[in-house]
Amino acid sequence: MDNNNLETITFGGGCFWCVESCFNMLKGVESAISGYSGGHKDNPTYEEVCTGETGHAEVVQITYDPKIISYEQLMDVFFFLHDPTQLNRQGNDIGTQYRSVIYYKDDTEKVKAEEAIKTSEASGRWSGTYVTEVTKFEKFWSAEQYHQGYYNENPTQPYCSAVVGPKIQKFKKHFGELGMLNAE
């Protein structure tokens, strides 16, 4: 990858364990880091974010090479991995920390995010109106180290085996067929 031309994107689509694991498998993604954005407390902890009182969302910050994977392809993966019609939840994960949100850095990115939402909504992948927030990026706080690569380190943990694992298998099948995954 050409490190001089790497870009970043930050978004939340429910529990970051699944989102981070999947994005780290994609060609063109240098890193996907679990963390927190959108809140009012500096350097929040996982326990604080889980209360919903800090205003943060669980997010993943992705560093990628746009010559290998486009913003639009990342958005397609993002909308594949979570249900953007669920307000402040993903399945049984309930709270504002699980909201669907795209953080943009400038007006160009804001327009691209809004267009990605319209494109995905028009595709009919999810029935209902999208509730994905498009919010100005302010700060990313990396989650605690034990959250990084959590699924890979804990695949038999009950939540991972029941929720994350099946989602990752569906992701691998779909995006593997499209030739978008790194070799294992």
Based on the residue annotation, tell me whether 15 is a catalytic residue of this protein. yes
Question: What sign does the CA torsion over 82, 86, 92, 93 have?
Answer: positive
- Closest to 20 (Cα-Cα) out of 57, 54, 50, 60: 60
Catalytic residue among 15, 18, 22, 160: 15
Please report, for residues 19, 25, 53, 62, 105, the alpha-carbon distance to residue 31 in angstroms, rounded to integers and kept in the order given: 12, 9, 28, 6, 18
Q: How far apart are CA 29 and CA 9, in angstroms?
A: 11
Catalytic residues: 15
